C-alpha cells in the first residue's frame, strides 16, 4: 500500500468506519460456526434453522451476520438481505426494504398483505437469508408480525440480532413456536481480542510509524469489551493527531478521543430507547444515587407535570433493568430492609 508523502496519520478512514466489513471476523469463530451450522440446510435446498444473536453492543453481532451473508452469496450463490429494524420498525417497512434490495417488480402498492404475497411469489424458486438487526426496536405487535410471517416462508432463513435473548422470551407463543431459533451468545471481547482487532485495522487505516502497540493496548483496555467504541476511539485519536499537526498519536489524543467515544455510545444507546426510558435516565442523572421508590414517585410526578401517560409499575422495573443492562445506569442494593435499589449514572 502506498502512502502520501504528506503527513497524514489517518490515511484510510473507511477501514475504521462502522460499516466496514473486514475479510475475516476475529475472535468470533465459534459464533460463525454455530451460525453456519444453522443455515447449512438452505445450501441443500432445505429450510434452515433460524438464529438469534444476542449480546451487548459492540460485540460483533452485526459483523457476524453481514459476514455470513457475504459468505453465503460468494460460496453458495444464496441471496441475503440486511434490514436494520431500528430504521425500519414496522412489518410494512421491513417488507418494503426487502423488496427494494431484491429489486422486486410490482411490489409498489401500499399494502402489507400485497407486498408479502409478492415476496412469496418472488421466492417460489429462490432461497433467501434475511438479517433482522436490532429486532428489539419494533413495538411488540410489529415484532410479532415480522417474525411470524417471515419465519413462515419455506425458503427463508432468519438471523435476528439484538442486545438480549430476553426479547425472544417476550414474543407471542405462536411466534416462538414457529421461529424456534438457535440462540447464540456473544460475550464481550477481552482486551487481548480488542488489541488484535485494532492491530488488524490500524495496519491498513493508519500510516506506518504513527502509533505504537502500547497505544493500541491502552485503547483496548479502555473500551470495556466494546469493539465499536475501541475502533471509534482509535479513529478519533488519529483525527486529533492530524489536526494537531503531530507525526504520531499520543496518550493525550487517546484520552480526548475516549471521552468523545463514551459520549457517542451513550447518545447512540439512548436514541434507541423509548421516551420513557430516556425520562428515567434523565431523572437518575439529575438525582444521582436515588432510591428506586423515590425514583418511581418522581417519575409519576414528572409524567403528571408533562401531561404524559406513565407506564405501569411492573414495566417501570423492566425499564430500569434495561438501563442497567445497557450499562447506562448502575444499581446496587440499598443498605435498608426490603428490595430497594439505589440508582446512579454509570461512569
Q: What is the mean pLDDT of residues 128-154?
A: 95
At 68 the pLDDT is 98
Q: How confident is the model at residue 339 (pLDDT cuts 50, 70, 90)?
A: confident
Look up residue 163 and give its three cell numbers: 442486545
Q: Are strands 290-291 and 341-345 parallel, antiparallel or unpaired?
A: antiparallel
At 234 the pLDDT is 97
At 4 the pLDDT is 47
The helix/strand/coil state of 200 is helix
Q: How confident is the model at residue 290 (pLDDT cuts 50, 70, 90)?
A: very high
The helix/strand/coil state of 289 is coil
Q: What is the mean pLDDT of residues 318-335?
A: 86
Q: What is the mean pLDDT of residues 277-305?
A: 95
Q: Is the pLDDT of residue 327 over 90?
A: no
Angle (CA) 56-57-60 rounded to 5° is 95
At 335 the pLDDT is 67
At 338 the pLDDT is 63
Q: Is the pLDDT of residue 174 over 80?
A: yes
Q: Is the pLDDT of residue 1 over 50?
A: no
Q: Is the pLDDT of residue 107 over 50?
A: yes
| % residues pLDDT > 90 (the chain) | 78
The reported pTM is 0.86
At 266 the pLDDT is 85
C-alpha span between 186 and 59 (Å, rounded): 6
At 318 the pLDDT is 85
Q: How confident is the model at residue 51 (pLDDT cuts 50, 70, 90)?
A: very high
Q: Is the pLDDT of residue 108 over 80?
A: no
Q: Is the pLDDT of residue 2 over 60?
A: no
C-alpha span between 311 and 117 (Å, rounded): 37
Q: Are strands 182-185 and 156-162 parallel, antiparallel or unpaired?
A: unpaired
- The CATH H-level superfamily of 29-185 is P-loop containing nucleotide triphosphate hydrolases (3.40.50.300)
Instruction: Answer yes or no: are the C-beta atoms of 67 and 25 closer than 8 Å.
Output: yes
User: Is the CATH number 1.10.10.10 carried by domain 274-345?
Assistant: yes
Per-domain residue ranges for the chain? 29-185, 189-270, 274-345
C-alpha span between 173 and 147 (Å, rounded): 12
Q: What is the mean pLDDT of residues 250-263?
A: 93
- What are φ and ψ of residue 204, in 5° steps? -105, -20
Instruction: Answer yes or no: are the C-beta atoms of 79 and 211 closer than 8 Å.
Output: no
More confident residue, 270 or 180: 180
Instruction: Answer yes or no: are the C-beta atoms of 10 and 239 closer than 8 Å.
Output: yes
Q: Is the pLDDT of residue 292 over 50?
A: yes
Closest CA relative to residue 159, chosen from 32, 268, 322: 32
The CA–CA distances, whole Å, from 37 to 42, 50, 53, 123, 197 equal 10, 10, 14, 22, 25
Write out the CATH class of domain 189-270: mainly alpha
Q: How confident is the model at residue 337 (pLDDT cuts 50, 70, 90)?
A: low
C-alpha span between 181 and 248 (Å, rounded): 47
Q: How confident is the model at residue 336 (pLDDT cuts 50, 70, 90)?
A: low
Instruction: Answer yes or no: are the C-beta atoms of 131 and 65 closer than 8 Å.
Output: yes
C-alpha span between 112 and 63 (Å, rounded): 29
At 5 the pLDDT is 45
Least confident of 123-127, 204-208, 280-284, 325-329: 325-329
C-alpha span between 299 and 276 (Å, rounded): 9
At 150 the pLDDT is 98
Amino acid at each position: 500500500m502506498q502512502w502520501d508523502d504528506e503527513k497524514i496519520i489517518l490515511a484510510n478512514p473507511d477501514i475504521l468506519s462502522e460499516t466496514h466489513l473486514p475479510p475475516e471476523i476475529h475472535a468470533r469463530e465459534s459464533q460463525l460456526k454455530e451460525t453456519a451450522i444453522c443455515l447449512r440446510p438452505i445450501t441443500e435446498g432445505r429450510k434452515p434453522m433460524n438464529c438469534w444473536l444476542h449480546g451487548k453492543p459492540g460485540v460483533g453481532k452485526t459483523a457476524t451476520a453481514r459476514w455470513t451473508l457475504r459468505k453465503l452469496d460468494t460460496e453458495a450463490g444464496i441471496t441475503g438481505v440486511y434490514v436494520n429494524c431500528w430504521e425500519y420498525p414496522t412489518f410494512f417497512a421491513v417488507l418494503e426494504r426487502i423488496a427494494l434490495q431484491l429489486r422486486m417488480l410490482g411490489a409498489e402498492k401500499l399494502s402489507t398483505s400485497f407486498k408479502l404475497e409478492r415476496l412469496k411469489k418472488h421466492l417460489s424458486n429462490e432461497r433467501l437469508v434475511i438479517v433482522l438487526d436490532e429486532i428489539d426496536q419494533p413495538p411488540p405487535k410489529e415484532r410479532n408480525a415480522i417474525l411470524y410471517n417471515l419465519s413462515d416462508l419455506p425458503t427463508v432463513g432468519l438471523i435476528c440480532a439484538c442486545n438480549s435473548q430476553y426479547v425472544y422470551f417476550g414474543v407471542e407463543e405462536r411466534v416462538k413456536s414457529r421461529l424456534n431459533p438457535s440462540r447464540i451468545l456473544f460475550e464481550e471481547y477481552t482486551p487481548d481480542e480488542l488489541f488484535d482487532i485494532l492491530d488488524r485495522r490500524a495496519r491498513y487505516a493508519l500510516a506506518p510509524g504513527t502509533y505504537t502497540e502500547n497505544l493500541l493496548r491502552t485503547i483496548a483496555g479502555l473500551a470495556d469489551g466494546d469493539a465499536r467504541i475501541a475502533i471509534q476511539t482509535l479513529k478519533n485519536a488519529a483525527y486529533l493527531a492530524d489536526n494537531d499537526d503531530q507525526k504520531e498519536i499520543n496518550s493525550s489524543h487517546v484520552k480526548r478521543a475516549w471521552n468523545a467515544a463514551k459520549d457517542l455510545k451513550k447518545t447512540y444507546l439512548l436514541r434507541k430507547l423509548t421516551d420513557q426510558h430516556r425520562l428515567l435516565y434523565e431523572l437518575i442523572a439529575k438525582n444521582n444515587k436515588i432510591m428506586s421508590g423515590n425514583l418511581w414517585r418522581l417519575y409519576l410526578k414528572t409524567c403528571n407535570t408533562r401531561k404524559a401517560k406513565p407506564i405501569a409499575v411492573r414495566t417501570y422495573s423492566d425499564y430500569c433493568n434495561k438501563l442497567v443492562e445497557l450499562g447506562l445506569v448502575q444499581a446496587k442494593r440499598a443498605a435498608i430492609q426490603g428490595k430497594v435499589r439505589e440508582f446512579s449514572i454509570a461512569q
